[in-house]
Each structure stands twice: as C-alpha cells, then as structure tokens.
Structure 1
Amino acid sequence: MAAGTEFPPPLSLVDGNYRKVNITITKDEKPETLETIKEPTLGKPPRHISSIRHSVSSAQLNHATEGDYDIGIVSSKPPSDGNGTFVPIFRSGSCSEIGSKVSMEDEHICIDDLLEHLGATANLTSPGAFYGVFDGHGGTDAALFIKENILRFIVNDVDYPFCVEKAIKSAFFNADHAFADEGSLDSSSGTTALTALIFGRTMLIANAGDCRAVLSKRGRAIELSKDHKPNCISERLRIEKLGGVVYDGYLNGQLSVARALGDWHMKGPKGSSCPLSAEPELQEAILSEEDEFLILACDGLWDVMSSQCAVTMIRKELMLHNDPERCSRELVREALKRNSRDNLTVVIVCFSLDPPPRIEISAGAYLQKV
C-alpha cells in the first residue's frame, strides 16, 4: 500500500472449496503476498501465557543450505475452518544477537496478553497481543524510546479503539515527535519500527523501515510488509518527489532505509513532508486455522535468508519441539552461519498450542528442490 492511501477493507472469506494443486517452487519465485490469499473472519482468543525474551551467542550448528529449506508444501487436507470457528492462542519466543557489530542497537517487545499487560482500563474490544521489532541506528536511544512508548501512543490515541488503523498511524507520528522533544536523548539516532497488533483474529501489521513480517500459511511464506529500501521504486519516487536523492542505495547518501522514526537531523519541521518518512504502511490479515505462526525480524536475517526459507525452517523446528523461543534461537544461529553482518533480532509468534500439522502431499503434486 502506498503512503497516504486509505487502509484496505478486511479480506474476503475463504469460500471453503479445496482443489488439488501441482506446484513447483524455485529459488527465484517470490513468496505469496496477502493480495493472492483469501482469509476468513472474526473470533476471540483466550488470555494466554507471558512473553519470552532470550539472547544467544553465535554457537555453531550443522550447516544447512538455502536449498534445504526453500521448498514448497502442498496439503491434501482442506482446512476445517470454513465457518469462522478458529480461535488463536498466542505464544511467542524471541532472540537477539549482536552479531559482528560493535554494539547492539536492536530492541523488541513481546506481549502475549494485552489485557493482562494494560489492565482493565485499556478499553480493549477483545483479548489480544502485541509484538514489535525495532532496528536502531546511530545509537540506541530511538529504538529504546519507541519500544517503550509505541503501544501507549496507540491505545491513548483518540481514534482507538474505533479506528485502530488511524490510531496506529497517528501513534507512529506522535511517538516520533515525542522522541524529538525528549531533551535527554539523542534525537539524531533513528530506528525502523515493525509492529503486529492482534485483536481476536484480526491482525494489523505496521511497518516503517526494512524489518519484515512473514506469515506461515500451511507452510507457505506470506509477506505482510514491504521492505522500505531507498532503491525500491515506489520509495525512490516518493523520495525524489520530496526533493531527496538516492545515492548508491542510500537516502541522501546517508541512510540505507527510506522510512524511520528519529533521525531528526534529516527531517524538517514537525508535520512537514520530507524524504525520510515515519509513516507506516499497514496490512490487515484475518487469522484462520491455516495460519500457523508469524516471524518478525530485522534485516540482519532477511539479508541472508529468503522468507520461504525462514518459514520452512521454523515449521520443521516446531514439529520437532514446538518451542517458539528455541525456534527464534535456531533462526538467529542459522543467519550467523550465513555470515549476516548486522545485529539480529527474531520474534516468533505461534497461533496455536499445537505444533503445525504434518503435511500430506496430494496425489499428482510434486516438489522440486533447486
């Protein structure tokens, strides 16, 4: 969705039909996006367990290649959620690693139970959860400030809870402005921001920067956010329209992302349009029984791994031990073995207490590993 456009209506219901598919997945094939997938609606999750935060070292694992994970999956069984009976249960795990950087500038947040976290006065329309990854640069001030305040700006917004989409967009701008006004912090530091706010079965992804949200739908990687790189055609056009330039992949020759909070040395007066934008792009998904887990991660992971590779790897791990914390740790370790040169932060959110079901390959369907 381009910046400044209206938020799209919820996606339509799955029609309940099921058909056998012949699929060939190659490395060059891009993961599916939400525009190609239909979703079902409505429901409420029960309150559930607390969040997990874990950091690990770069211990060695047996090496796995991209080809080992980047494969397609076809199920011979149709989903049983044709009538909107699915109720997600949230459990999460996370892992952060400094990598080869001199300092750790990433931050993240995992809240599996918003009602417990915010209390009864939070005006929640249904039980829910909140997750975020914040990839800082130029210091840790911006990432830490946004992590600690972004949810508060959302739930205190005048449009919350009646128009959550507007509340989220306003919260990004308000948090950005509040950070600029915080005299004790370095306003020239900056951060990307990727959040997932879930009420019942409705999940809203908000992204400003190059972190990425990827959903596993029966083993298929569904990208729920777009990487805001300056070289992205839509971002380059927006930047140049506002008087900026993209030089060697950097915004104004300085920054490798096209959207970020903070970095006030690169922005104009509050409220003015500038090439470096804090406006998030939003995507809505209605969770169904097919939706197994969500990956939120900084670009340190995506620089060395495709979305489908990450989904397939995590799915295999969950089938082995069903522990999202351990999954996040294994994904970070794999990225380190692939020589990621950035800080690494991964959040895994599961939507069921059970591991993903074993996939049965339908007759006539085949997989091609490249």
Structure 2
Amino acid sequence: MKDSILEAPAMNFIPNVRSGSYAEIGPRVSMDDEHICIDDLGEHLGFVFKYPIPSAFYAIFDGHGGPDAAAFVKRNAMRLFFEDVNMLQSYDSDALFLKKLEDSHRRAFLRADIALADEQTVSSSCGTTALTALVLGRHLLIANAGDCRAVLCKRGVAVELSNDHRPTYLPERKRVEELGGLINDGYLDGYLSVTRALGDWDLKFPLGAASPLIAEPDVQLVTLTEADEFVIIGCDGIWDVMSSQVAVSLVRRGLRRHDDPQQCARELVKEALRLNTSDNLTVIVICLSPVESIVESSPPQRRRFKACSLSEEARNRLKSLIEGN
C-alpha cells in the first residue's frame, strides 16, 4: 500500500460530513475501547478557517492490558494531535502542506507513546492501538498503529485505507524479526497480537533504540471525490468476523433505507455479535456524500440464451422423441 492515494478529484467536490458511532462490551468482562467523534473540528478547537471548509476528526483506541492507556490517549487527544492549530488554519491543498499534515500526525502518535511512558497512572504492561481519521477540505488523512481498520466505500466498493499490524501480516513479521523480535503462535513475544501500539513499555526497548513493537503509524492521504460515499472505522472485533466488503455493503443498504449513520454503526456491531465475535466492539460511520448520491448497485445480469429457430424436420424429430415414438 502506498503512503498516499492522490487521485485527480472533481475540483469542486466538498464532502458533506456527518457521522454516527456505536460501541458495546461484547463477550469481554471489561470495556477497553475508547472513541472520538467530532464532526466540526474547527468549532471544537475554537478557530475559524479563512474559507469555509469541512473539518472533522475521528479516532478509535482499542486498549489491552486494561482500559487505562486508551482512556489516557482519549483524554489528551486534542493536545497530542493538534499541538499546532495554526498549521490547520493555514490549510492548503498543495503538496508541501499535505506533507506537513502527514508528518504532524506521525509525531502525534510518537508523542502519545512517550506520554504513556511517563504517565504514572498507566501500567507499563498496558497499551492501546490507535486509528485516527481527519477530514480537512477535500482531503482524508488516516493514521493507524495496530489492528483497527479504516475502509472507504467508493461507489459500493470497499477500499481498505489501513493495514492490520499483526504478526501474520508479512511486512510486519519481517520488520519484527529483523529487529530481533520473536513471534510465537501468531503473537509478538508470545504475548501481544499486534506489532504496533501506543504504550506497552514492558515490551519496548528504551527510548532511542529500535524496538520490534513500535508506535509509528502508517499514514494514508486520500483526495476525496464524488465517488466516495462513506468511511467505516472499527476495532478488530468487527473485522475478526466480517470482511471489509460485507461491512460496506451492510452500511450502504442501511443508509439507503434510513439515512442514519449511527443506526448503521449499531447494525454493524449487532451483526458482529451475531457472528460470534470474541472482543469489544466499536464502530464509527463517517458519511461523505448525501444519501441521494448512493444509488443502488445494479444486480448482476442474468445470462440470456440466444433464441434460435428449428427447421420443420428438427421439430418433428424432437416431437417424436418427447412422445417416445
């Protein structure tokens, strides 16, 4: 997957952003997920853009070893992820600004990781995966460390915008093993099911040393077009039992039926429970286009056989065969 998906957009396309979320504990004994939904980031941070543009921020933090790391990152997210508000206000679609935006989110993940190392209230055996989605103008920035997933619906087709950072994902397995990390039965050091996470300082080398377990995110930048209908971001409890395409199709049908992203998020969670997921469940559905633009997919065409005419002699032979003469 490349670092950026920059397509030639319809220059006048501006996403119409709204969202809905839903979370359930599932079969676990504790709820370790946290999430953030901000449909108007400018208003939330208290600034006004020079020209009116959509600005929104979403995040899912899927904790492990207890809920403390996920709760800490959520509490401090605005400080960690939007340290330089002035940069956001200077939004421009040129390549230099977009590169600065990507770099700022990479640094935010690393800042959050270091903050967890210094936080006395969070155990060093506690950590969290993190996935963020930032909409700014006609751009969508996804940053991910761990096995939450972001999926874009492009005219009904699921386009994955993140990789699941697990030991079974070959590029991650290779990176881990080159740094001396051990993978045992699909787990990093026989303990952790992800290869990137914030926190978990029991499993990381001291600051400054290259560690098999890292907090650096993969970042994807997408230029949105009229073909882009919505984004689903969800924790691994969803994707363990459901493909990206199945989730997209379910949400798409829901939006056509009731046009309510929160109800779509709830329906995804209920479907994952029906499919016997074994984890906490959190989903955010982020609509980018009005429901009127989400047209029903054409059903597959039935195969039609070309009609052919039979000669009089052939018809008589067929008739005698049918009648058993």
TM bin, normalised by shorter chain, reads 0.7 to 0.9
Q: What TM-score, normalized by structure 1, do the two folds share?
A: 0.75
Percent identity, please.
55
| Native 8 Å contact 2:32 2:280 kept in 1 | yes
Partners of 2:209 and 2:157 lie apart in 1 by: 40
* Equivalent of 2:243 in 297, 306, 310: 306
Cα distance, 1:123–1:84 mapped onto 2, change above 3 Å? closer
Q: 1:149 to 1:271 in 2, by over 3 A?
A: farther
1:189 paired to 2:189: no
After TM superposition, give the deviation of residue 314 of structure 1 in Å.
0.5
Deviation at 1:150, TM superposition (A): 3.0
**Aligned-pair CA distance for 1:154:** 2.5
Gaps of 5+ in 2: 89-96, 304-325
Identify if the C-alpha distance between structure 1 residues 85 and 242 changes in structure 2 by more than 3 Å, giving closer, same or farther. Answer: same
Tell me which residue corresponds to 1:74.
none
1:271-299, Cα deviation, whole Å (9 max, x unpaired): 32101010000111111111111000011
Alignment-mate amino acid for residue 7 of structure 2: S
8 Å CA contact 1:125, 1:199 repeated in 2: no
1:271 maps to which residue? 208
Equivalent position to 1:202, from 139, 145, 156: 139
Q: Does structure 2 retain, via aligned residues, the 8 Å contact 1:122–1:155?
A: no
Determine if the alignment matches structure 1 residue 164 to structure 2 residue 101: yes
Q: TM-score by structure 2 length?
A: 0.85
- Equivalent position amino acid for 2:47 in 1: A
- CA RMSD between the two structures: 2.3
Question: What is the rounded CA distance, in whole Å, between the counterparts of 1:138 and 1:233 in structure 2?
Answer: 25
Q: After the TM superposition, which residues 223-262 of structure 1 pair with which residues of structure 2 at under 5 Å, given as runs?
A: 223-262=160-199
Contact 2:17 2:54 in 1 (8 A): no
CA distance in 2, matches of 1:353, 1:300: 28
Select the residue among 110, 114, 121 that pairs with 2:41: 114
The number of residues matched between the two structures is 293
Q: Does 1:92 align with 2:19?
A: yes
Q: Tell me which stretches of 4 or more aligned residues in structure 1 moved more than 3 Å.
A: 121-127, 157-162, 365-368
Q: Which runs of 5+ in 1 are unaligned?
A: 14-39, 41-82
Of 4, 8, 12, the residue aligned with 2:7 is 12
| CA distance 1:100–1:125, shift in 2 (3 Å) | same
Q: Contact 1:190 / 1:263 at 8 angstroms: preserved in 2?
A: yes
Distance 2:38 2:302 in 1: 37
SS at match of 1:101: coil
Partner of 1:271, secondary structure, is coil
Deviation track 1:292-320 (CA, whole Å, cap 9, x = no partner) reads: 11000011000100000000010000000
8 A Cα contact 2:156 2:297, kept in partner:
no
Structure number having the greater helix percentage: 2
Which entry has the higher C-alpha Rg, 1 or 2?
2
CA contact (8 A) 1:159 1:167 kept: no
CA–CA separation in structure 2 for the residues paired with 1:227 and 1:197? 19
The answer on whether the counterparts of 2:129 and 2:197 sit within 8 Å (CA) in structure 1 is: yes
Contact 1:318 1:356 in 2 (8 A): no
Query: In the alignment, what sits opposite 2:307?
Result: none
